[in-house]
Structure 1
Amino acid sequence: MKASPYIARGARGFTLVELMASMLLLTLLMIVCVSALDSVRRSVTGVHNKTQQFREARQAFELITKTLSQATLNPYWDYYYKGSGSNQPPGGTTVTPPSAYIRFSELQFQTGAASVLLGGKATRASTPGHATFFQAPLGLTNDQNALGSLLNARGYAIQFGDDSTNRPPFLADYEIPVRHRFRLVEYRPPAEQAAPFQGNTIYTHPADWFRQDLEPATRTVAENILLLVLSPRVAAEAATAAKKPAWWIAPNYTYNSLDVDNSTPAVDKVTVDAAGSVAQGTQHLLPPLVVVTMVALDETSAARWAQEYGQSAPDYLSEADAPFTDASQHDADLARLEAWLERKRLNCTVFSSTVPLRNARWDSRTY
């Protein structure tokens, strides 16, 4: 039989075994490639989901740091009369010379335990961590938002509660249970309201100016914000020069611009000795820096944890042995809290930033 002109002499085809081996290798290669692509896809999806989960928290953190950096006191210098404890001379017919020349301000800056600052029914469980209240030139009014230099009061805290007040009206027709969560809230009254110098109002407590209309002027900024920690500090170089720790101005996280040493909420502790030397400390001064730390949970973890605590706020800081009452233990307290959350399989992320307060007016006499 004559060989086909299209097949070279001595050539042969693949055997069945060779074909099966080739197909097996090709299948294994495809499985490896598909597995690698799926792993990359799941990784990208996981990163995207995590970014989306904490996007609201990240935006809230940026809002706090941006607004806090604009805090102001607008201090000024004036005569101080020891007899009246103010810049007004004592009453009577006798002319009294001023005792000193010191700083004054009608504005206030406060940080500290949220349960203490908010007062009322606030507890460490329902309002964990810290809160801050201050004034800044944000320009919000009842009529318009274009007055950028107009002063506004601002405040931030964590509160526990349900979402009944934040729900759209149409949800009332559906049997959807309310959700109990920790939330970051913002106190944001218009410039016409809630300022320490409002009208002729005389407040008996240095926190009353924001307590008196706290609820109607408060809005929710973000859900599942577990903790807010605020640590007023001085710059490292200044602390080293003064031979003090950076957090010496607020060793227990409490800072009140009305106070000389921030140990108690006293309104006036100015002392003037016989030589006329004044001890005013940090009174009517902003802290140069504030270390802001925020802990946020993802919704899946928060929903699972909510099944445990129900409608009552858990005192998780006590469980985690992380009270955040001593500024020298800031990092240790945060590490204990993160370890506790990990043991409970709660997915969290920590935001932290050192915010310089650009309107702080410190000099060598303050140290």
Structure 2
Amino acid sequence: MSGHCPLRKTAAFTLIELLVSVAVLSVLMMVLSQVLSDTQATWGRAKARTEEFREARAAFEAIAARLSQATLNSYWGYKLDANGNPLIYQRQSELHYVNGPVTTLLGSAVPAAGHAVFFQAPLGENLDPGSPNPASTEPYGLESMINAWGWYVTYDSDLPRRPAFLGDTPAHPERKRFRLMEFRQPTEKLSLYRLVTPPNGDATSTKIPWLEAQNSQNGLYDWFRSDLAADSQPVAENILAIFVQPVWPMPGKDTGADTSAAPNYLYDTRRHQWPDTTTMAERSRHQLPPMIRLTLVALDERDWSKLDSTATDALATQLRTLANTKVFITAAEYENDVKKLESELVNLNLGFRVFSTAVQIPAAKLMSSREN
């Protein structure tokens, strides 16, 4: 009798189970695909945002570094009367530091926004650096020569700075933007040291430095106003404004800042020549501020690239009005104005980033500006 093996049942998925598995797998793939897509989009936006503000961050760091090198080369000497007799022993300087609203420093002819700052520092900028060749007659080794420097923000077109072959074409349309401008005056062009006849003198009078001869606020600012366009160049686009606040440490306190030397942000080491006899003029006389609160506001290029020329001009006018007349008018409201500016930009649906820091100026040596 031959043996007979019964048939075994083979384990397998039913059609319904396969359909359910495929459905579940499809849902999981859709979820994973969406997560991957969102992650990629977020990473792309973060990378684009980092790239977008890289130029602004580099410019901000450069301002802070160079501003910390500001100097007046101040010294102590006698102030003489008309007969050459000494009157008082006081701090003196042949240099000049000034910061304040652009409407005051540059006037209304320049379409600028926010604040500006101008000063001298040993930055070694000259027209021709020359070479180490001993036979050369060109300048060399002048890395510590004094230069005039400064920053301000203006709204303008890029067409005047383009090469002649890059006109306003569909392939290269005009770009109207807010731009951070850097004023760089080489040593050979410094106008502060030139000698002139005193305001009330005649041809036989002993000549004095040009800066000492100025007796008006506008006259004092001529050293950067007269060559502003020729000695300025853009260093970053989409910078709405910079804001500069001189501060003093609070006596006997670990925190806090005294802003009474520039309650309206205008600080001029030659304010006494306007002439001005207030305590602010006496306090700032040839005296650098020991610390600067520096704030830079950068805008997102993507919001500007979507606008045509007319819309760009209209928005720029609105932003200039905001930066020049609605915020950073009173120094005591500095923190509140930062928040107000951020709120206004959010309401305008503009992307932005605010950079802030405190810059110490080692050359500022706090002491009395005069002694009897």
TM-score category, normalised to shorter length: 0.7 to 0.9
- 1:130 corresponds to: 115
CA change 1:130–1:196 in 2 (3 A) is same
- 2:98 corresponds to: 110
CA distance in 1, matches of 2:19, 2:4: 32
CA change 1:160–1:202 in 2 (3 A) is same
Greater shift in the superposed pair: 297-306 or 308-317: 308-317
CA distance in 1, matches of 2:226, 2:238: 27
- Superposed, 1:39-118 pairs within 5 Å as 39-81=38-80, 83-84=81-82, 90=83, 96=85, 98-118=86-106
Matched, 1:162 2:176: no
- 1:18 corresponds to: 17
Alpha-carbon displacement from aligned partner over 1:278-321 (angstroms, at most 9, x marks no partner): x9423111101111111111112123455424389504354587
CA change 1:285–1:301 in 2 (3 A) is same
Q: Sequence identity of aligned pairs in percent?
A: 36
- Per-residue deviation at 1:333? 2.0
| Paired AA for residue 161 in structure 1 | D
- 1:275 corresponds to: none
Q: Is the 1:195–1:210 contact (alpha carbons within 8 Å) kept by the matching residues of 2?
A: no
- 2:291 corresponds to: 289
- 1:362 corresponds to: 366
- 1:276 corresponds to: none
Q: Is the 2:168–2:174 contact (alpha carbons within 8 Å) kept by the matching residues of 1?
A: no
- 1:233 corresponds to: 247
CA distance in 1, matches of 2:314, 2:322: 18
- Per-residue deviation at 1:268? 7.0
Of 154, 168, 171 in structure 1, the residue corresponding to residue 166 of structure 2 is 171
CA change 1:210–1:319 in 2 (3 A) is closer
CA distance in 2, matches of 1:247, 1:68: 18
- Per-residue deviation at 1:75? 0.5
CA distance in 2, matches of 1:259, 1:240: 29
CA distance in 1, matches of 2:269, 2:340: 31
Matched, 1:202 2:192: no
CA change 1:3–1:132 in 2 (3 A) is farther
- 2:183 corresponds to: 187
- 2:311 corresponds to: 308
Matched, 1:121 2:134: no
Q: Secondary structure at the match of 2:49?
A: helix
Greater shift in the superposed pair: 44-53 or 305-314: 305-314
CA change 1:213–1:2 in 2 (3 A) is farther
Alpha-carbon displacement from aligned partner over 1:114-134 (angstroms, at most 9, x marks no partner): 121113613xxx211110000
Equivalent pairs counted in the alignment come to 336
- 2:346 corresponds to: 342
Greater shift in the superposed pair: 320-329 or 134-143: 320-329
- Per-residue deviation at 1:363? 3.5
- Per-residue deviation at 1:44? 1.0
CA change 1:270–1:22 in 2 (3 A) is closer
Q: Over the residues paired in the alignment, what is the CA RMSD in angstroms?
A: 3.0
CA distance in 1, matches of 2:91, 2:319: 41
| Paired AA for residue 232 in structure 1 | P
- 2:205 corresponds to: none
Unaligned runs of 5+ in 2: 130-139, 197-208
- Per-residue deviation at 1:3? 6.0
- 1:140 corresponds to: 125
Q: Is the 2:282–2:369 contact (alpha carbons within 8 Å) kept by the matching residues of 1?
A: no
Q: Is the 1:103–1:284 contact (alpha carbons within 8 Å) kept by the matching residues of 2?
A: yes
Q: TM-score, normalised by structure 1?
A: 0.82
Alpha-carbon displacement from aligned partner over 1:63-113 (angstroms, at most 9, x marks no partner): 1111101101111011122x34xxxxx25xxxx3x2221110001110011
| Paired AA for residue 313 in structure 2 | G
- Per-residue deviation at 1:245? 5.0
Unaligned runs of 5+ in 1: 85-89, 272-278
| Paired AA for residue 253 in structure 1 | Y
CA distance in 2, matches of 1:48, 1:302: 19
